[in-house]
Amino acid sequence: MRIAQVSAHTSPLAPLGGRETGGMNVYVLELSRELARLGYEIDIFTRRDADLPRVETIAPNLRLIRVEAGPPEPVEKEAIIDFLPDFARDMRRFVHEDGRGYDAIHSHYWQSGWAGGHLARALDVPHLVMFHTLGEVKNRARFGEQEPKKRIRHERQIVRRASAIVTASSHERELLERYYAADHGKIHTIPCGVDLERFRPSDRAAARKKLGLPLGAPVLLWVGRLEKLKGVDILISAVAQLDASDFTLLIVGGDDRADALKAELRGQAEAEGVAKNIRFIGAVKHEDLPDYYSAADVCVVPSYYESFGLVAVEAMACGTPVVASRVGGLISTVTDGVTGYLIPWRCPEPFAEKLEVLLTNPELRANFSRAAQKSVERFAWRRVALQMASLYDRVLAEHRSRGGVAGEGARFGKEAWEAALLAGGIR
């Protein structure tokens, strides 16, 4: 089976920790790698944003296809919608030139869903979509979030038209049904995965020595894209309330486009008297993250919204307890009082309380660590890929039994496709 994965606004090969690079990049790349190992032929389509080859072989059965849409340089994610018709056209051009086609299209994020949906209709194949985040949910999660109405309108349209919708948690399924009127029968919950060979416990002292961290003092860790929705301000206020004064808080993530927020957070740390305790590390390579998780006593995930919470799973795979917000997918990945703590309030005091409990109780941390390692076995990429492969088979069989999306596959020629593309333009 040949599957096209569509990741329009960000390349899965891009360095992690930037404004547009995070868990979704890891998901698309690692899922594709594992499906390729299972024998599927996988092509990942992403927008060309640098002078790099049109086609790059990542591994046997796995290629990255760079699509011509807009200038070959980075652009803001919000601006990519202007280039989506070109993205869809160039994907179809590549399929025509390549000559082999695909059995299904799997789109990631709403912009990819728009372009991937057009390609699926042109080829008369099933279209699966995974949103990773939802505009309506982000707007409700934190006051001040302003995801555009255009995004939410297109998300609703994609929900209606998709052959299947993949969610990382049952909570995300409920949100799609509640806010997007999604068809319950279309939604399939398959968790994200983690590389258990890469993310596993290692010697804490060695990790701290490698990173230049003190061996005896507490170390706290935050990892992710540096944006307000991630709640780093809550974490800074929480650590300011700790009894310990010799702790270190590592903030891992954030590129040049996060400089304004970074300056704001540094100012907050100065005002609360903990600037000397906080290190802004910036973006790091995914393969280097295990050292940070292993060096930390606790990983903190104070987000207002997480569709899955990959950082929490990676930390637990390394045996590091987690203190996280009780939101989204974190509810199903972190077991409160067993592998970490879930905080139902988005304010510093309860985070500070649970951090104090863990930092002053090494035996409790050890118990959480053992339970955390055991809990993540269900997220092994091979298990996730086998579930996804089963879904592909099921959706393709249903599609064939119905004779195609709308019985127009073979007749959906170039002129009709162009007309549909323009009629469904980004507005």
- Checking if the pLDDT of 411 tops 70, the result is no
170 in the same domain as 75: yes
Instruction: Tell me the C-alpha distance between 392 and 395, whole Å.
Output: 5
Predicted pLDDT at 18 = 53
- Inside any domain, residue 198: no
Instruction: Tell me how crowded residue 286 is: count the other CB atoms within 10 A of its CB.
Output: 18
Q: In degrees rounded to 5, what are phi and psi of residue 244?
A: -70, 145
CA angle 75, 80, 85 (to 5 degrees): 140
Higher pLDDT, 381 or 255: 381
Average pLDDT in the 116-132 region?
Answer: 96
| Least reliable range by pLDDT among 34-48, 240-254, 264-278, 391-405 | 391-405
Interacting residues of 291 by C-beta distance below 8 A, sequence separation 6+: 202, 207, 210, 211
The structure's pTM equals 0.88
Give the mean model confidence (pLDDT) for residues 140-156.
89
The percentage of the chain sitting over the pLDDT mark of 90, rounded to a whole number, equals 79
Q: What pLDDT score does 23 carry? A: 78
Predicted pLDDT at 412: 47
My answer on whether 113 and 235 are in the same domain is no
Whether residue 373 sits in one domain with residue 298: yes
CB 341 within 8 A of CB 331: no
Confidence grade of residue 425 (pLDDT, cut at 50, 70, 90): low
Do 419 and 358 reside in the same domain of the chain?
Answer: no
Residue 405 — very low, low, confident or very high, per pLDDT cuts 50/70/90?
low
Residue 391 forms part of a structural domain: yes
Q: What is the pLDDT of residue 261?
A: 94
Domain count, the chain: 2
- 363 with 386, same domain: the answer is no
C-alpha pair distances (Å), 186 with each of 117, 160, 391:
15, 9, 11
Res. 103: pLDDT tops 90: yes
Q: Which residues of 159-198 are buried (b: 16+ CB within 10 A; e: fewer)?
A: bebbbbbbbbbebbbebbeebbebeeebbbbbbbbbbbee
User: What whole-number distance in Å separates Cα of residue 9 and Cα of residue 79?
Assistant: 10
Question: Residue 22: pLDDT above 70?
Answer: no
Predicted confidence at residue 409, as pLDDT, reads 39
Whether pLDDT at 17 is above 90:
no
Give alpha helix (H) positions in 191-329: 204-211, 232-239, 259-271, 289-295, 310-317
pLDDT of 70-85, one tens digit each? 998 888 878 888 999 9
Does 199 fall in a domain?
no
Q: What CATH number is given to the structural domain containing 405?
A: 3.40.50.2000
- Same domain, residue pair 111 and 254: no
Which domain range does residue 342 map to? 204-377
Q: 298 and 320 in contact (C-beta within 8 Å)?
A: yes
400 and 350, same domain (yes or no): no
Cβ neighbours for 102, distance < 8 A, ≥ 6 positions apart: 2, 3, 4, 43, 95, 123, 125
Give the mean pLDDT of the chain.
91
Bridge partners (DSSP) of residue 165 are 129, 187
Give the contacts of 241 (CB within 8 A, at least 6 positions apart): 348, 349, 352
222 DSSP β-pair partners = 251
Residue 219: predicted pLDDT: 98
Mean pLDDT of 21-35: 89
Give the pLDDT of residue 407.
34
Same domain, 108 and 140: yes
Question: Do 373 and 390 belong together in one domain?
Answer: no
pLDDT digits (tens, 9 = 90+) for 162-213: 999 999 999 999 999 999 999 999 999 999 999 999 999 999 999 999 999 9
Q: What is the pLDDT of residue 325?
A: 97
Q: In terms of domains, do 405 and 304 share one?
A: no
pLDDT at 285 over 90: no
Closest CA to 328 of 350, 303, 355: 303
**Residue 170: what residue type?**
S
Does residue 182 sit in the same domain as residue 284?
Answer: no
Model confidence pLDDT, tens digit, residues 386-395: 999 999 999 9
Contact (Cβ atoms closer than 8 angstroms) between residue 342 and residue 330: yes
pLDDT tens digit string along 324-372? 999 989 999 999 999 999 999 889 999 999 999 999 999 999 999 999 9
Write down the pLDDT at residue 426. Answer: 59
Question: Closest by alpha carbon to 122, among 90, 77, 76, 156?
Answer: 90
Residue that the structure tokens 């993540």 belong to:
376
* Structure confidence at residue 19 (pLDDT): 56
Whether 181 and 313 share a structural domain = no
Give residue 266's identity as a one-letter amino acid code. Answer: R
- Burial class from Cβ neighbours inside 10 Å (0-12, 13-18, 19+) for residue 383 reads middle
- Is a pLDDT exceeding 50 seen at residue 33? yes
